Amino acid sequence: MKNSKKDIRALSKKELQDFFVSHGDKSFRGSQVYDWLWNKATYNFEDMTNLSKETRQMLMDNFVINNIEVDQMQRSKDGTIKNAVKLHDGFTVESVLIPTMSRTTACVSSQVGCSLDCKFCATAKLKRLRNLNADEIFDQVVAIDKESKLYNGIPLSNIVYMGMGEPLMNYNNVLKSIEKITSPEGLGMSPRRITLSTSGVPKMIKKLADDEVKFHLAVSLHSAIDEIRTQIMPFNAKFPLADLRESLVYWYEKTGKSVTYEYIVWNGINDREEDIRALVEFCKAIPCKVNIIEYNPIDDGQFQQGTDVAVAKYMNALEANHITVTLRHSRGKDIDAACGQLANKMKV
């Protein structure tokens, strides 16, 4: 056990204020500390310069700040940056900075490993070791923002929860991290610049709707036929497409927001006419966009990127049905930073 002191970032603003009051100080000190932690992203009590020396010492005696550390940074030929991020208890996760002409996007992890077992994803091979805390997700964003300013001269503009892990299996911490990132007392980013990508956990999609979240939702669909989806994403047996569809209808009715489906086309798996028809039908449930993403091989050779012809057939069918479709090319492949490639490779 490295330290038995409590992590100060586990406390809410109210708890911080109460802590000061119970120590004979003003509640307003709690607000000052909160500002250092979540607005200025300070990792050191010594840096909280508007507190007296005694107050800083008192905080040090009672608390720690379990910040992450960027252990290793790799830069791709295309400008993509991958961070191997060390957590306070020694685990490692990865986050990615993806610069394009119009935006810089941070792709952050929400779990060490993953609770799901998608057959085509490298992270799934790691199993889930633990959930990340809100501050550990927040810190990934802060680290990438700094790197973006340093290397590209511009701050971060977008965040995608598409790194390691299934964000909806770590619901409370993920939502808490988004609250810290978006609130004016935190980093003050617009929730409209955040996308949460899920493999599709119906109960949790409904909860997002009930919680009236303001960020975007993306669902990794990959097949609209249960039999096939269960083969490649085995948890689909527990959460079949009918349930997923129902939860998305609920999402749209409650939030009025559309959804993006992420979809990879593979040879011999989902490249038949009936696969295309099933997707078009599924897309009719609520307003949506389809993002066809390039497959990034993960070594075992079981999956192969579908042909250009198959991808074009998908695109034509979707467009013919007035469904917006985009094609996403992978970034950062040379450093294993692309979708589905995050597996702490440089550590093993």
Catalytic residue positions?
Answer: 94, 339
**Does the footprint of ligand SAH cover residue 296 (CB under 6 A)?**
yes
The neighbouring-strand residues paired with 195 are: 160, 216
Applying CB under 6 A, among 236, 340, 343, 344 the residue interacting with ligand SAH is: 340
Q: Cβ–Cβ contacts within 10 Å for residue 187, how many?
A: 19
The helix or strand, by DSSP H or E, that contains position 180, with its residue range, turns out to be: helix 171-182
27 is in an annotated binding site: no
Angle between helices 134-152 and 171-182 (to 10 degrees): 40
Q: Is 197 exposed, middle or buried (0-12, 13-18, 19+ CB in 10 A)?
A: buried
Smallest Cα–Cα separation from 142: which of 69, 198, 200?
69
**221 annotated to bind ligand:** yes
List the interface residues with ligand SAH, window 65-94 (CB under 6 A): none
Query: Binding to ligand SAH (CB under 6 A): which residues in 233-262?
Result: 262
- Segment contacting ligand SAH by CB under 6 A, of 52-60, 147-155, 179-187, 295-303: 295-303
Residue 215: exposure state from Cβ atoms within 10 A (0-12, 13-18, ≥19): buried
If one asks whether residue 332 binds ligand SAH (CB under 6 A), the answer comes out as no
Alpha-helical segments (H) within 236-330 = 241-255, 273-283, 308-320
Which of residues 65, 81, 298, 343 is near ligand SAH by CB under 6 A?
298
Contact flag: residue 264 with ligand SAH (CB under 6 A): yes
The CB-of-166 to ligand SAH minimum distance in angstroms stands at 4
Verify binding: residue 173, ligand SAH, rule CB under 6 A: no
User: In the range 189-208, which residues lie near ligand SAH by CB under 6 A?
Assistant: 197-199
Look at residues 162, 180, 141 and name the one whose alpha carbon lies nearest to residue 217.
162
- Which is it for strands 130-131 and 111-112: parallel, antiparallel or unpaired? antiparallel
197: annotated binding-site residue? yes
Question: What distance in Å separates the CA atoms of residue 40 and residue 91, rounded to the nearest whole number?
Answer: 25
The residue among 139 and 262 lying less far from ligand SAH, judged by its C-beta, is 262
Q: Between 5 and 289, whose beta carbon lies closer to ligand SAH?
A: 289
Which residue in 8, 288, 292, 293 binds ligand SAH (CB under 6 A)? 293
The one among 8, 121, 208, 290 contacting ligand SAH by CB under 6 A: 121
DSSP state of 239: S
| Secondary structure class of 226 (helix, strand, coil) | helix
**Residues lying near ligand SAH in the complex (CB under 6 A):** 120-121, 162, 166, 197-199, 220, 262, 264, 293, 295-296, 298, 339-340
Q: Which residues are annotated as a binding site for S-adenosyl-L-methionine?
A: 165-166, 197, 220-222, 296
Q: Which residues are annotated as a binding site for [4Fe-4S] cluster?
A: 114, 118, 121
